[in-house]
């Protein structure tokens, strides 16, 4: 059977690349070696005028041999012509591969079997081997085309051009003229215009207009999202409402759509264990069965066990049946289909190996902030120590945090911005991961962060007996007060945990740098089995190592969104990143990306992975079962060439059709 290609996009241009091999190359389905294959998309080249002539000659020749009283050479000539026409591409490919030293592939098996059938006078069977092999290849390509189209649709989410406005000159009515430019030439900070029905070309911040944005291509969500000025929009989304104007936040190569396409392209190179096993299996299996078929055809008649014609026929039937196409084709297609199906639901899997590992997950470790909670903090209260006012505490904290991108820092800055007062001169800003920040604000040394930071600096602080995040502030070594910041739990976090447990996930763990009181409250409300709080990034990795060393509950997945989660994501058996709002470092380190940031989508990812694994097992059982049975029948002389063709082409087609279900 033919190999599987996938169209990928590089620098805005479509190219063909092997879905399960190095770029531009594919793996031979029988010899499992890399070489180039040439076949038309979805088998359309089979129904050419020449092939139709070949099929017509086969029908006439078959009728002439069995139903019409003609001289023997007439039917032979018709069938021989049909054979050469229909099998010409198989002969060409077999010759090319033999030149490369790749003898034992499906083309070689078909050529030997059909030529052997001609030699012993089974002319219709010889043509049938080629004909049904080519028809099976056609239907296989049609089936595989469904998975290929799902990836091609993904490649279309990134527009090549953008409408760029001249520099804004005033109010919303005074935008400049829009000019169409290549999206890759648009710089960060430029203003773009997205027309109704148009696709967002670059990640941007809405500055004018309001309407609905269709995010289905990115997140799998069918409901549109309302956007207004101040909201972020992602490349690849479709503007379903009014005219929008937005400021570009990321370059073309760093946009969400580009990242998705890059992930989809790279996913095909990471094979699951079952794929690697089948590749190695085919390299050993195919030469063995060829030698066995040769022995079956030659040894019994030499030993007087029967006529040559009978045993040669058995060997040829055995040779056709033995082709491992169904295994070597259907397993990559299963994982490929699973990856494509997951992407249509806003779940990006970077390779078949990660999909396979996800299907075996027994423990899931969650980060808290931005993963189970919204990560959008707000200042709930401010407490000032003696000698300071609440305004002083807020001012010093906002100034110290002014260079930080942490969600807590942003919430403090936003609260201070409500006062519309400028910040004092701030310099020497240093951020200490897991602790907080230090800076010189108006000539005074300010430290701002956790209780551990105060302890490390020898500052006596007030205990805040409240279930929330507390940011302590000290000025010139004196405690100034603290800011109480709250973060809301995501609406579907509790459902995510319950759905995972319903799917047999034996253990859920939450790791956070937040206070134990806050962490315990969140963990209890969500039904998390274990909660570890007050952790630094290195502490999280250490606890993860202990969880993985336990090994009692299968593989371990980590779910996170921040740059501080990247080490955990990279260390886990499966790293799952929240890709919509998550950091680039987290997305890069992760193996699976949830594009809509919804924890409940993790259960859907597990479903896709497990379904794909079931289909792989089904295909292995189908292929080995049917082929084994027909090979045995061939040895004892019961199976004929027609049954052999079904056991090869038919089973391969059934396996591929079954594999395509993984993409649903």
Find how far residue 453's CA is from the centre of its chain. Answer: 40
Give the side-chain half-sphere CA count within 13 A for 134. Answer: 27
Please give the positions annotated as active site. 367
- pLDDT classification of 71: cutoffs 50, 70, 90: low
pLDDT over 90 percentage in the chain? 12
- For range 208-234, the mean pLDDT: 74
Q: 146-150, 317-321, 395-399, 582-586 — which one is most confidently predicted on average?
A: 395-399
pLDDT at position 426 over 50 = yes
Last residue of a domain, one of 560, 590, 620: 590
213 and 120 in a common domain = no
Token pair recorded at residue 346: 């806003």
Give domain status of residue 347, yes or no: no
What contacts 53, CB < 8 A, 6 or more positions away? 85
Least confident of 4-8, 103-107, 613-617: 4-8
493 plus 435 within the same structural domain: no
- Do residue 68 and residue 93 come from a single domain? yes
How far is it, in rounded angstroms, from Cα 233 to Cα 216? 13
- Residue holding tokens 């707000």? 378
Q: Are 81 and 110 in a shared domain? A: yes
The C-alpha atoms of residue 495 and residue 82 are separated, in whole angstroms, by 62
Residues counted in the chain: 664
* Ranges assigned E (strand) in 108-231: 161-165, 178-182, 191-194, 204-208, 211-214, 225-227
Look at the block and give the residue holding tokens 């993963």.
Answer: 371
- Give a yes or no: residue 410 inside a domain: yes
Handedness of CA 547, 553, 555, 559 (dihedral sign): negative
Residues 361 and 396 in one domain: no
Query: Does 168 share its domain with 232?
Result: yes
Instruction: Give the single-character DSSP code of 44.
Output: G
Residue that is last in its domain, among 556, 590, 624: 590
Please state, in angstroms and as integers, the Cα–Cα distance from residue 275 to each residue in 27, 33, 178, 356, 493, following that order. 11, 13, 50, 10, 34
- Whether 17 and 133 share a structural domain: yes
**The pLDDT value given to residue 12:** 33
Same domain membership, residue 617 and residue 468: no
User: What CA–CA distance (Å, rounded) separates 328 from 1?
Assistant: 9
- Cα–Cα separations (whole angstroms), residue 398 to 252, 422, 434, 448: 33, 11, 18, 9
Which one is predicted more confidently, 481 or 316?
481
91 burial type by CB count under 10 A (0-12 exposed, 13-18 middle, 19+ buried): middle
- Classify residue 169 as exposed, middle or buried by CB count within 10 Å of its CB (0-12, 13-18, 19+): exposed
- Number of domains observed in the structure of the chain: 4
Question: Which pLDDT belongs to residue 40?
Answer: 40
> What pLDDT is recorded for position 5?
37
Q: Distances from the Cα of 646 to the Cαs of 88, 228, 634, 653, in angstroms?
A: 21, 60, 13, 9
Nearest by Cα to 652 from 328, 398, 432: 328
Instruction: Please count the other Cβ atoms lying within 10 Å of the Cβ belonging to residue 92.
Output: 12
Shared domain for 577 and 636, answered yes or no, is no
Rounded mean pLDDT, 541-566: 81
Q: Residue 227: which domain range?
A: 161-254
**Domain closes at, from 486, 519, 539:** 486
Assess whether 570 and 656 both reside in one domain: no
- Provide the pLDDT confidence category of residue 53 given band limits of 50, 70 and 90: confident
Interval 196-203 mean pLDDT: 84
Q: Which two tokens stand for residue 499?
A: 């759905």
Helix (H, G, I), strand (E, B) or coil at 426: strand
59 and 143 part of one domain: yes
Give the integer Cα–Cα distance in Å for 458 and 473: 13
Whether the model clears a pTM of 0.85, i.e. scores above it, the answer is no
**Closest residue by Cα to residue 302 from 292, 293, 312:** 312
Using an 8 Å Cβ cutoff, are 265 and 17 in contact? Answer: yes
* Predicted confidence band of residue 216 (pLDDT cuts 50, 70, 90): low
Mean of pLDDT over the chain: 77
CATH number at residue 169: 2.70.150.10
Whether the per-residue pLDDT at 331 is higher than 90: the answer is no
Please indicate, yes or no, if residue 259 is contained in any of the structural domains: no
């Amino acid at each position: 059977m033919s190999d599987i290609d996938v169209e990928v996009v590089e620098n805005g241009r479509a190219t063909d690349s092997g879905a399960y091999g190095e770029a531009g190359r594919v793996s031979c389905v029988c010899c499992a070696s890399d070489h180039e294959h040439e076949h038309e998309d979805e088998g359309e080249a089979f129904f050419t005028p020449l092939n139709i002539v070949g099929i017509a000659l086969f029908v006439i020749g078959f009728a002439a041999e069995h139903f019409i009283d003609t001289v023997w050479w007439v039917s032979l000539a018709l069938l021989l012509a049909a054979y050469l026409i229909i099998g010409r591409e198989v002969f060409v490919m077999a010759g090319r591969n033999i030149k490369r030293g790749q003898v034992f592939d499906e083309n070689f098996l078909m050529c030997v079997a059909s030529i052997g059938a001609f030699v012993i006078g089974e002319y219709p069977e010889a043509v049938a081997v080629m004909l049904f092999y080519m028809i099976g290849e056609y239907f296989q390509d049609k089936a595989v085309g469904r998975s290929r189209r799902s990836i091609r649709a993904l490649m279309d989410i990134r527009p090549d051009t953008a409408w760029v406005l001249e520099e804004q000159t005033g109010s919303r009515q005074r935008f400049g003229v829009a000019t169409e430019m290549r999206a890759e030439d648009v710089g960060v900070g430029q203003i773009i215009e997205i027309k109704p029905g148009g696709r967002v070309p670059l990640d941007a911040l809405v500055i004018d207009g309001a309407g609905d944005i269709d995010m289905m291509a990115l997140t799998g969500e069918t409901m549109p999202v309302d956007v207004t000025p101040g909201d972020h929009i992602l490349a690849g989304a479709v503007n379903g409402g009014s005219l929008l104007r937005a400021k570009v936040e990321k370059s073309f190569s760093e946009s969400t759509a580009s990242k998705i396409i890059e992930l989809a392209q790279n996913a095909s190179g990471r094979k699951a264990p079952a794929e690697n096993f089948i590749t190695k299996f085919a390299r050993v299996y195919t030469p063995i069965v060829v030698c066995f078929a040769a022995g079956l055809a030659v040894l019994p008649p030499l030993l007087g066990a029967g006529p040559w014609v009978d045993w040669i026929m058995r060997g040829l039937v055995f040779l056709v049946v033995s082709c491992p196409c169904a295994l070597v084709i259907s397993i990559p297609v299963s994982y490929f289909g699973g990856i494509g199906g997951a992407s249509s639901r806003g779940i990006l899997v970077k390779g078949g190996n990660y999909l396979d590992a996800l299907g075996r997950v027994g423990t899931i470790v969650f980060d808290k902030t931005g993963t189970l909670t919204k990560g959008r903090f707000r200042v709930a209260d401010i407490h000032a120590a003696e000698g300071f006012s609440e305004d002083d505490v807020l001012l010093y904290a906002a100034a110290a945090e002014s260079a930080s991108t942490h969600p807590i820092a942003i919430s403090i800055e936003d609260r201070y911005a409500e006062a519309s007062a400028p910040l004092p001169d701030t310099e020497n800003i240093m951020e200490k991961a897991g602790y907080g920040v230090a800076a010189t604000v108006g000539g005074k040394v300010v430290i701002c962060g956790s209780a551990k930071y105060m302890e490390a600096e020898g500052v006596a602080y007030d205990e805040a007996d409240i279930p929330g995040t507390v940011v302590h502030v000290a000025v010139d070594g004196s405690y100034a007060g603290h800011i109480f910041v709250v973060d809301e739990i995501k609406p579907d976090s509790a459902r995510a945990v319950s759905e995972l447990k319903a799917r047999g996930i034996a253990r859920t763990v939450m790791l956070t740098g937040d206070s134990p009181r806050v962490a315990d409250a969140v963990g209890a409300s969500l039904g998390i089995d274990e909660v570890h709080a007050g952790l630094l990034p290195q502490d999280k990795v250490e606890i993860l190592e202990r969880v993985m060393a336990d090994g009692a509950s299968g593989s371990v997945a980590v779910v996170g969104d921040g740059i501080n989660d990247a080490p955990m994501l990279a260390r886990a058996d499966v790293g799952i990143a929240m890709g919509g709002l998550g950091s680039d470092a987290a997305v890069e380190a992760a193996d699976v990306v949830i594009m809509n940031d919804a924890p409940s989508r993790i259960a859907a990812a597990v479903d896709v992975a497990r379904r794909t694994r079931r289909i792989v097992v089904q295909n292995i059982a189908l292929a080995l079962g049917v082929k084994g049975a027909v090979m045995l029948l061939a040895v004892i002389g019961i199976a004929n060439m027609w049954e052999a063709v079904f056991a090869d082409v038919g089973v391969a087609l059934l396996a591929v059709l079954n594999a395509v279900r993984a993409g649903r």
